[in-house]
């Protein structure tokens, strides 16, 4: 089982879109996948066809030790991977976890119970460097950072890289930055090209080869409770996530 956290403390940069589409594309490639939604907004949950309202069990109960993952996981209609869902209740976990033992390791401990069920676990992190994100990073083998190639893209990246280093030093010696994924890419924009080149210069082969273009089909898909890859497999964005999944399988093999 390989565990990857999709993280970036900025909101609206494509974390959830990346997580659900990677999950779907990996599942289509024959991998057994669990998506863990760690964002109280529950967008990855809804985008995977699971209704976040009225969940009896969610990742919240799992983090607090009130449920195991096997009881809380769900599967949306027509979706080929499992989801450990989230909703607003999860916002309270931040405070409640503070007083618990192993507060950074709650998710890691819970995942041990389903270790044989999956090839990939993908964690959709919230837009913060909070205790929830720490739980994601503390159990992951690798971090995937989606980024938009815009002027402020590099700002904040050093905070995230420092957090990854800190988690590596204190909680999780296995944690690695797997790579930066360029999303919502506009090949006609000079700025996109410049920022993209800058990223390649600074991060070398840590930048995934795949470029995910801005593509309206990816944005429409969540309202149908489906990842874009399943909603319209021929869309340019869906094909890019297919290529990205192949890159992830290749990189996961290497460690
Ligand atoms: P985050 O999880 O980082 O907040 P989202 O994945 O929710 O970001 O993306 C933010 C918004 O951008 C959403 O409305 C989503 O549908 C849209 N979006 C994400 N990736 C793309 C893309 N490649 N093309 C077009 N729209 C996208
Ligand atoms: Mg999100």
> So what's the pLDDT on residue 151?
80
Query: What structural domains and CATH numbers belong to the chain?
Result: 2-254 (3.40.50.300)
Q: Which residues of the chain have pLDDT under 70?
A: 255
Distances (CA, A) of 4 to 94, 135, 181, 203: 21, 12, 13, 19
Q: How confident is the model at residue 153, as a pLDDT? A: 80
The preferred substitution site among 7, 10, 15, 17 for testing ligand 1, maximizing ligand atoms within 8 Å of CB, is 17
Q: Give the count of beta carbons closer than 10 Å to the beta carbon of residue 109.
A: 14
CA–centroid distance, residue 154 to ligand 2 (Å): 19
In 3D, which of 191, 196, 127 has the Cα closest to residue 159?
A: 127
- Pocket probe for ligand 1: among 7, 8, 12, 243, the residue whose CB has the most ligand atoms within 8 Å is 12
pLDDT of residue 163: 92
pLDDT tens string 209-224: 999 999 999 999 999 9
pLDDT at 255: 65
Nearest atom of ligand 1 to the alpha carbon of 13: 3
Residue 119 has a pLDDT of 96
Q: Which residues pair with 6 in a beta bridge?
A: 124, 144
10 CA to centre of ligand 1 in angstroms = 12
């Amino acid at each position: 089982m390989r565990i990857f956290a999709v993280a970036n403390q900025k909101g609206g940069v494509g974390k959830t879109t990346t997580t659900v589409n990677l999950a779907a594309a990996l599942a289509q490639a024959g991998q057994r996948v669990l998506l863990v939604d760690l964002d109280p907004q529950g967008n990855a949950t809804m985008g995977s066809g699971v209704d976040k309202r009225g969940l009896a069990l969610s990742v919240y109960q799992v983090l607090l030790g009130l449920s195991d993952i096997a009881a809380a996981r769900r599967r949306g209609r027509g979706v080929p991977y499992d989801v450990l869902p989230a909703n607003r209740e999860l916002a309270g976990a931040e405070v409640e976890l503070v007083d618990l033992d192993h507060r950074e390791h709650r998710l890691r401990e819970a995942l041990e119970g389903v270790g044989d069920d999956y090839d990939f676990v993908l964690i959709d992190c919230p837009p913060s460097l909070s205790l929830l994100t720490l739980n994601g990073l503390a159990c992951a083998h690798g971090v995937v950072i989606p980024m938009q190639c815009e002027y402020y893209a590099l700002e904040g990246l050093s905070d995230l890289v420092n957090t990854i280093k800190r988690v590596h030093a204190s909680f999780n010696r296995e944690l690695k930055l797997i790579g930066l994924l360029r999303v919502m890419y506009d090949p006609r924009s000079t700025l996109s090209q410049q920022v993209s080149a800058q990223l390649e210069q600074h991060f070398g082969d840590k930048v995934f080869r795949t470029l995910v273009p801005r593509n309206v089909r990816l944005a429409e898909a969540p309202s149908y409770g489906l990842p874009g890859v399943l909603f319209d497999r021929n869309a340019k964005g869906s094909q890019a996530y297919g290529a990205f999944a192949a890159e992830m399988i290749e990189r996961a093999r290497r460690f």
